[in-house]
Structures are given as structure tokens and as C-alpha cells.
Amino acid sequence: SDKAEWAFRGTVPTEWPIDFGGLKFLIKPTAFKHTGLFPEQSSNWDWMRGLIEKAKKDTTSADGSVADVEVLNLFGYTGGATLACAQTGAKVVHIDSSKSAVTWARQNAELSGLADKPIRWIVEDARLFVEREIRRERRYDAIIMDPPAFGHGVNDELWKIEEHFLPLIEDCKKLLKPQPLFFLIKSN
């Protein structure tokens, strides 16, 4: 035959753990062709870790206490960036409108030995959360966002990148401390 065919030698598991970038992840192929991990983001994780480590070192006082580094991760999905920041000692607020994604991220934290780290796991629409944080006058040292092109919030709020992305960036700028570490925007 001229056509190549796949030869399966057993069943493919529905999920499996892997080690990657100093963390552990549960890989689960999804209907929308994701596996729960974007390995090309590992250089961003290393960059964030370096900035957080430096900030913590630079803010160590004479008595040995270290200032907290607070990170907001919007559209956090399965938690790669959240876990990288938490692994370095940051306090992280992880936001995603998908309950199953947040559950998956929590599983990844547990697999990585980070379940006891200061991570707030929140299932919510990113725009609504940011608006509320502005009203609360909360400030973060760093913000990460990985918005989809299209999506729905917890209560079916519509997200269209061409309509909502730039206003969200403007709102996020209001949440940054006067001397922020970083504002990382990525998109897959």
C-alpha cells in the first residue's frame, strides 16, 4: 500500500504525569487539541523565577525577613506559570473561568509538591476579577496573562480578544505596584 498507517501497540492512557521544567504536570489530551502544558513557555518560567528570586534577595532586611512578591495570573489554565512563581516563593492568585482547568492546575500543584504554597485558586471571569481588584485598590508586583482568542466566563460572559484585550491591559496596569517586576502577556 502507498499509504502509511498508524500501528497501535496498546491503548493510550487518558492521562499521565510528566516532569518538565522542574515541575510535574498531569497530561490529558483534550477535545480542543491541548495536552494541558505549553512547553515553549518554560523560558518565560525561568525568566519569572529569576526576577522573583532577585526581588526577594533585594528586599531581604537585616533581620532576615523577606518582602512578599505577589503575582496575579489571569487565564491561568493548568498552572505552569503559577507553579513556577510559587516554586520561587511568590504568593500567587490564579484566575481561570474554567472550573476543570483550576482543578487540573491544583492537581499539578500537588504533583509538584506545591500544594501548601500560598496560591489562591479562583474560578472567575478575568475581567470581572480585575475590575473588583481595582475597586479594592489591590496591587501586585507582577501580572501574567495568557488570554484565549475567544471564550466564556463563569456566568457565560463573552470574551473576544479583539474587543476585550486592550481594555483589560489598561485595567491591569492599575493593579501593578509603582515598581512592578513584570507584566507578561503571552498567547498560544
* pLDDT at 116 (0 to 100): 97
Q: Is 94 helix (H, G, I), strand (E, B) or coil?
A: strand
Count of CB atoms within 10 A of residue 113's CB? 12
* pLDDT at 45 (0 to 100): 97
Q: What is the mean pLDDT of residues 122-147?
A: 97
Model confidence pLDDT, tens digit, residues 66-123: 889 999 999 999 999 999 999 999 999 999 999 999 999 999 999 999 999 999 999 9
The band of 63, judged by pLDDT with boundaries at 50, 70 and 90, is confident
Q: By C-alpha distance, which of 176, 173, 168, 167 is closest to 71?
A: 176
Strand partners, 143: 72, 183
Residue 11 burial (C-beta neighbours within 10 Å; 0-12, 13-18, 19+):
exposed
CB 30 within 8 A of CB 71: no
